[in-house]
Amino acid sequence: MIAVGDKAPDFTLRNQDGEDVSLADYKGRKVLLVFYPMDFSPVCSDQLSIYQEVKPELGEKGVELVGISVDQIHAHKAFQEKIGIDTPLLADFEPKGEVAKAYGSWFEPAGFANRTLVFVDEDGTVAWTYESPTPGEFPGANVIFDGLAS
């Protein structure tokens, strides 16, 4: 897992609309990177739906959400539409899991990212992290708010 205080590794991934998105695009802003295993699993659907519900509160704190998984862009678009979220979803598709590996979120036994939250501050520094004990357990909204308060 990436350490608090480390410079967040830059990356460029395509979003659900096929547009390139880089961490550098968020310079000067706070961003919460939400690594999750894959689109359409029941646990991932619940996790991102709950985060959508608290997104306005996060916005009041100046925090933007970005989801990252190994799914490709077309799956992200369908997933976004199916569960009714507007959080940008980035495809860590090829090379598979490269960004998850750079952030220490990769779960090798299953070949996807674990449920990991990485809060990057305005300067691009990792300010807070959380990793779920297993990919089957997602961090609730309270974990996010507790982490932001610390």
Active centre residues (catalytic): 44
Could you tell me the two tokens for 2? 């990436």
Q: Judging by DSSP bridges, how do beta strands 30-35 and 116-120 pair with one another?
A: antiparallel
Distance of CA 13 to the CA centre of its chain: 12
d(CA 51, CA 141): 6
State phi, psi for 128 to the nearest 5 degrees.
-165, 145
**Residue 47, phi then psi, degrees to nearest 5:** -60, -55
